[in-house]
Structure 1
Amino acid sequence: MKNYQEILKSHEYKIWQGNNRFWYTYLPDTTKKNNRRLIKRKTEKELNTVIVEYYRKTRKKEDMTLESLYSEWLNYYKAHTTKTASVKRYSTEWIRYYISDPIIKQPLKNLTKLMLDEWVHNAIQRYHMTKKQYYTMSFIIRNCMSYAEENGYLQENIFAKVKVNSKMFRKVQKKPDYTQVYLAHEQPLIIKEAWKDYNRNPENTIPLAVVLMFYLAVRPGEIVALKESDFCNGVLSVQRMESGEFEEIEPGKYTRVSRGVAEHTKTDAGDRDIPLIKKAIDIITLVMKINKEHGNSGGYLFLNNGERIKESGVSWRLEKYCNHVNIPYRSPHKIRKTAISSMIDGGMNINTIRKFVGHEDERTTYNNYCYDRRTSEQVLNQLENALDNNTTVNILPFVSIDKKQVITGNQIQVG
């Protein structure tokens, strides 16, 4: 209350009541004539409240640093997302890249484009960041500065003017194809093993979830969140995913408390309708029949003892099948990469593939999901057929210096 009265006493403009019984005063505003703007309210109390809030916000703006802004922005972000995993990720990024950096102590009003430009390029070099790492790290300052502009703490978001030199990013070498997908001869081995596993215990449909992933190209978290109601007339609607729920145990430190289902997919483009091939329809129909026989109709598609299966359960089964057939284990997400690579190999239009698999940009599909599923021997044979499909003609004869042989085509002439 004392602070309230002190602010009113320091207000430099007159407060008065007009003939219309409204209360008036001026507040500083450099965008208006005479650097002030007229305000009015029905009661003196309402007018005083506006005055006090204006000066409190002004003082806050003068003292605001990136450190204090981050706390305010994070609360705002928490209120606008259901993804506790994202809150955890950005809290971790703050601790890793920001909390010990002197820049967070600088008043926002003192920050310049040049300061931010130097800071961000130094960070890229210091931490040897890839483009993806930079994007995740900079999410905080990009959104904090945007939030500050919207709240009037800054007149403009100067970080938006900072342009990063893409040559600064550490290049990521694409991993060998055989580590990212299941090769063409491996896929039928896994599918056969999964069907054997299912036939040993037809009540447990987790093995069929593994098989179905090869025909859907869905994310692992999406396959375990499918419901029977998502299937209609040969089309599957993908609209939710499994998501970890995290709880903050102390500032900046989180622990996972459960794995639930979020009523959305990874991105806006992730919600999609997939036309199904016959094998996929047969598997879904079989699973729904099994659920009905055990009184579990109407809920999640894949169940184990009446409970929704988890992504970890799919991973465990897949690893078991790989061990049984003696091939390297690759995560369930690699099945998604395998299926997408198969679509590309099949000559499907890239934009159609992008929509089917829930990517926002076809560059994501090509850059991260396009792998060769052939063995090295098969690739070499394909190369031979592509580059030397006419073995009877050698356009450029050459001479062997040692034996002075002229070699042309399939003939060897001694000189």
Structure 2
Amino acid sequence: MPRRGENIYKRRDGRWEGRILKPDGKYLYFYSKSYKEVKEKMKKNTKKSTEDKPDKNINQSVTAQMLFQTWLEEYVVQKVKPTTYESYYHCFHKYVLPYFQQPGNEYITKDSIQGFVQMLQEDSSIVQTSKARVLSIFKSALKQILQNSQESYFLVELVKFPKVYYKEVQVFAMNEQRLIEYEALRSKDQRLLGIILCFYTGIRLGELCALKWSDIDMDTGILSVNKTVSRIKTFQEEGNKTRLLVGTPKSRKSFRKIPLPSFLLKMAMESRNRTTSEDNYVLTGKDVPIDPRVYQKLFKRVLQDAGVKERKFHAIRHTFATRALELGVDIKTLSELLGHSSVGITLNIYAHSLMDQKKIAIDKFNDMHLTNMNGALIAVTKSVKVASSLV
């Protein structure tokens, strides 16, 4: 039977079946012709069940803090990449655990969940994208912790996501890009080739730092993105220690191949000739990568020397995307070049740039309108009158 989340399945007879685990270990079944109706029936049942006993905790002997800590340290750490675990750890220790340590919020209940969601939604110091991220992780934790509880479905559904509005991205103007490129090219620091690479490929900082010469095919001019470098905390050791990690990229779509412009391939070839091994990293020329934080500081110095207003390194990626749209690159191709997990993400992030391109396209219709064709219109009118008089 095909499954569609929340313990809801499609049966062979075409109907949908939902199941809720009762306290006695047996299942309560719901049936309907549509997924939506089954989901609504389950929601009403669990809501009534929870409202009948509003002060009943999932487990009165275990606090929310203990449950969340166990989920992090025994479940999440085994399932996700170290970089993802660090973001989960940060999320819970900054937002979730402080709330559930407060008197009255020590246990997972309907009220404590609603209170946390409301608190987060009303905090104006947290941007919408961060709120959505925190609530997504929080909801994942609840699903896992409450999976054998009759109230789980209703309690998890209490977590509602805020509408996310993407900010207009920061990009470098064309004259600023030229100044930055000039500063990078005139420098004797070979590491600055990375800035040029990013302006014309759009790769992320971590992906740039992980780039080896073996990832650039000099014959075909294809750059392969298959690794990323990040600095993460070492949770198993005492103190606030960190280490540099070379791992897989952000998502499956982040594995990608990018054709290099001919001028950039030529620059890469010249730089490649100065190193002894293809296994060396592009930026360091050695068998160890550069720390992304170190490269960010290096980029900051380049901006200062070029007289350009300081921005984060990620602005180069946004600049690449904006230039691509200006040159008429279609959104699907751009999304693949950027390694986004979906075209929708690309559309949301670069909506403003797309609107600019739409305006340019629509302005072309001005040339077709009669108000801009007065001379031609008068000539046509006169010729029609002459033709009519001859009839």
User: What TM-score, normalized to structure 1?
Assistant: 0.64
| SS of equivalent residue, structure 2 residue 175 | coil
Cα distance in structure 2, aligned partners of 1:181 and 1:365: 15
Q: Which runs of 5+ in 2 are unaligned?
A: 1-22, 28-56, 373-391
- Deviation per residue, 1:377-396 (Å, 9 max, x gap): x99xx89x779879x969xx
Give the deviation of 1:213 after TM superposition. 0.8
Cα distance in structure 2, aligned partners of 1:369 and 1:73: 36
Letter in 2 for 1:275: P
From the superposition, tell whether residues 187 and 102 of structure 1 become closer, same or farther in structure 2 (CA, over 3 Å). same
Q: How does 1:108-119 map to 2 (within 5 A)?
A: 108=108, 111-112=109-110, 116-117=113-114, 119=116
Aligned to 1:72: 70
From the superposition, tell whether residues 249 and 143 of structure 1 become closer, same or farther in structure 2 (CA, over 3 Å). same
- Deviation per residue, 1:97-141 (Å, 9 max, x gap): 5244446423x4xx34x7634542343124565431222322443
Letter in 1 for 2:316: I
2:277 maps to 1:279 = no
2:322 maps to 1:341 = yes
Q: How does 1:11-410 map to 2 (within 5 A)?
A: 29-31=24-26, 61=59, 63-75=61-73, 76-81=75-80, 82-83=82-83, 85-94=86-95, 98-102=99-103, 104-106=105-107, 108=108, 111-112=109-110, 116-117=113-114, 119-127=116-124, 129-150=126-147, 152=148, 156-162=152-158, 164=160, 166=162, 174-175=167-168, 180-198=170-188, 204-232=189-217, 233-248=220-235, 255-262=240-247, 264-291=248-275, 295-303=276-284, 307-369=288-350
Letter in 2 for 1:285: M
Letter in 2 for 1:93: K
Give the deviation of 1:222 after TM superposition. 0.7
From the superposition, tell whether residues 123 and 68 of structure 1 become closer, same or farther in structure 2 (CA, over 3 Å). same
Give the deviation of 1:29 after TM superposition. 4.5
Letter in 2 for 1:323: Q
Contact kept, 8 Å, 2:325 with 2:353, in 1: the verdict is no
Give the deviation of 1:195 after TM superposition. 1.1
Give the deviation of 1:367 after TM superposition. 3.0
Cα-Cα RMSD:
3.9
From the superposition, tell whether residues 31 and 312 of structure 1 become closer, same or farther in structure 2 (CA, over 3 Å). closer
From the superposition, tell whether residues 254 and 277 of structure 1 become closer, same or farther in structure 2 (CA, over 3 Å). farther
| SS of equivalent residue, structure 2 residue 269 | helix
Contact kept, 8 Å, 1:265 with 1:271, in 2: the verdict is yes
Aligned to 1:18: none
- Deviation per residue, 1:183-217 (Å, 9 max, x gap): 0122122112211103xxxxx42111111111110
User: What TM-score, normalized to structure 2?
Assistant: 0.67
Cα distance in structure 2, aligned partners of 1:318 and 1:296: 26
From the superposition, tell whether residues 145 and 228 of structure 1 become closer, same or farther in structure 2 (CA, over 3 Å). same
Give the deviation of 1:361 after TM superposition. 2.5
From the superposition, tell whether residues 122 and 257 of structure 1 become closer, same or farther in structure 2 (CA, over 3 Å). closer
Q: Which runs of 5+ in 1 are unaligned?
A: 1-27, 33-58, 199-203, 395-415
Cα distance in structure 1, aligned partners of 2:25 and 2:244: 52
Cα distance in structure 1, aligned partners of 2:182 and 2:352: 23
The number of residue pairs the alignment matches comes to 315
Give the deviation of 1:218 after TM superposition. 0.5
